[in-house]
């Protein structure tokens, strides 16, 4: 991206994005510049096949680091797509859109299958994040209002839900010093308050109706269906995997017989942990029932970036 910025500055003498919106970059240059920019933001999203850094980063990071990474930093890649690629390289975005959609669909399927086989709770949530972020990219690149709106909504909901799941995993790790599901079990009997929050975020992660994630995913599917029905069916099929790995995680940790050979002491969440996780749960539920408070603000943002792309479709 730095090399591409250097060439942009050498040609136009500015790097102000609002001024670059006004320049007419030739299609040949757009194809090259778009590829360099996209590679940079695709790694940050992350998209398949440059995604493998994220699970490793989450495993090595502390709980606070995972929350910041999932809730804020991953959104920088999507911000780069919307802020720079679409307005500045609109022609390149339109030309490459089928390639990106196929890549995003592969990323959703691959990450979903990889999530099912994980036994480390943090890796499971990390691969789940990859699947959701690729689903956001898929919605954004269908280039209609519903896809754009759903991508923004799912991006915001993912920041809340994944942060809540990483916080819950961190709570378990602080008590039992393990993230492997096979060492845990039956915790719902001894941690009833934690069980309620954990189950809520599990439902949110599988986009259960009434949660913020459901609004985002159903809007994305509507946008994809308006573009391509076959692609909509394939992407909707991945929601089955989302339910599988989410319920798989919950059943292993909260249900079944307690593992008395490994865990000798049980403790529910503290007041400080309750305050943190309840805020995430509140906003996830609130925007699930009242998404209009965010949708109303996006009605002015989405058409601005969408106009750059639609100018090449007619």
User: What band does 286 get if pLDDT is binned at 50, 70 and 90?
Assistant: very high
Strand partners, 120: 180
- Please state, in angstroms and rounded to a whole number, the distance separating the CA atoms of residues 309 and 218: 23
Mean pLDDT for 59-74 is 88
User: What band does 198 get if pLDDT is binned at 50, 70 and 90?
Assistant: very high
Using a pLDDT cut of 70, give the percent of the chain over it: 94
Task: State the pLDDT at residue 309.
Answer: 62
Average pLDDT, the chain: 85
Asked if the model's pLDDT at residue 314 lies above 60, the reply is no
Asked if the model's pLDDT at residue 257 lies above 60, the reply is yes
Asked if the model's pLDDT at residue 136 lies above 80, the reply is yes
Q: How crowded is residue 198: how many other Cβ atoms within 10 Å of its Cβ? A: 26
Mean pLDDT for 37-41 is 88
- Report cis status (omega within 30 of 0) of the bond before 108: no
Asked if the model's pLDDT at residue 197 lies above 90, the reply is yes
Kindly state the tokens that stand for 201. 């975020």
Residues 219-245: tens digit of each pLDDT: 999 989 888 888 888 888 888 888 888
- Please state, in angstroms and rounded to a whole number, the distance separating the CA atoms of residues 118 and 34: 35
User: What band does 312 get if pLDDT is binned at 50, 70 and 90?
Assistant: low
Asked if the model's pLDDT at residue 310 lies above 80, the reply is no
Mean pLDDT for 5-18 is 83
Asked if the model's pLDDT at residue 76 lies above 90, the reply is no
Residues 16-29: tens digit of each pLDDT: 877 887 777 788 88
Q: How crowded is residue 83: how many other Cβ atoms within 10 Å of its Cβ? A: 14
User: Which domain range does residue 152 map to?
Assistant: 2-310
Q: How many domains does the chain have?
A: 1
Kindly state the tokens that stand for 60. 């090595």
**Do residues 140 and 81 touch, judged by C-beta distance below 8 A?**
yes
- Please state, in angstroms and rounded to a whole number, the distance separating the CA atoms of residues 246 and 231: 23
Write the burial class of residue 22 (CB in 10 Å: 0-12 exposed, 13-18 middle, 19+ buried).
Answer: exposed
């Amino acid at each position: 991206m730095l090399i591409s910025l250097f060439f942009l500055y050498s040609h136009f003498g500015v790097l102000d994005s609002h001024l670059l919106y006004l320049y007419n970059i030739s299609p040949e240059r757009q194809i090259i510049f778009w590829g360099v920019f996209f590679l940079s933001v695709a790694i940050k999203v992350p998209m398949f096949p440059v995604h493998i850094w994220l699970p490793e980063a989450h495993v090595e990071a502390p709980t606070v680091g995972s929350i910041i990474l999932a809730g804020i930093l991953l959104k920088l890649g999507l911000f780069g797509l919307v802020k720079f690629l679409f307005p500045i390289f609109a022609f390149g975005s339109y030309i490459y859109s089928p390639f990106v959609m196929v890549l995003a669909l592969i990323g959703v399927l691959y990450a979903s299958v990889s999530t099912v086989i994980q036994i480390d709770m943090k890796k499971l949530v990390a691969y789940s994040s990859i699947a959701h972020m690729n689903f956001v990219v898929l919605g954004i690149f269908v280039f209609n209002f519903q896809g754009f709106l759903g991508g923004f909504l799912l991006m915001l909901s993912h920041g809340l839900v994944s942060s809540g799941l990483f916080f819950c995993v961190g709570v378990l790790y602080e008590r039992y010093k393990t993230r492997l599901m096979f060492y845990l079990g039956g915790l719902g009997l001894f941690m009833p308050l934690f069980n309620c929050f954990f189950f809520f975020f599990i439902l949110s992660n599988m986009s259960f109706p009434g949660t913020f994630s459901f609004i985002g995913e159903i809007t994305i599917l509507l946008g994809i269906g308006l573009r391509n029905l076959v692609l909509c069916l394939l992407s909707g099929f991945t929601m089955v995997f989302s339910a599988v790995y989410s319920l798989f995680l919950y059943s292993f940790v909260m249900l079944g017989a307690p593992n008395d050979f490994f865990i000798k002491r049980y403790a529910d969440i503290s007041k400080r942990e309750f305050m943190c996780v309840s805020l995430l749960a509140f906003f996830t539920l609130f925007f699930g029932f009242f998404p209009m408070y965010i949708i109303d603000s996006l009605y002015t943002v989405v058409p601005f970036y969408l106009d750059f792309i639609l100018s090449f479709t007619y």
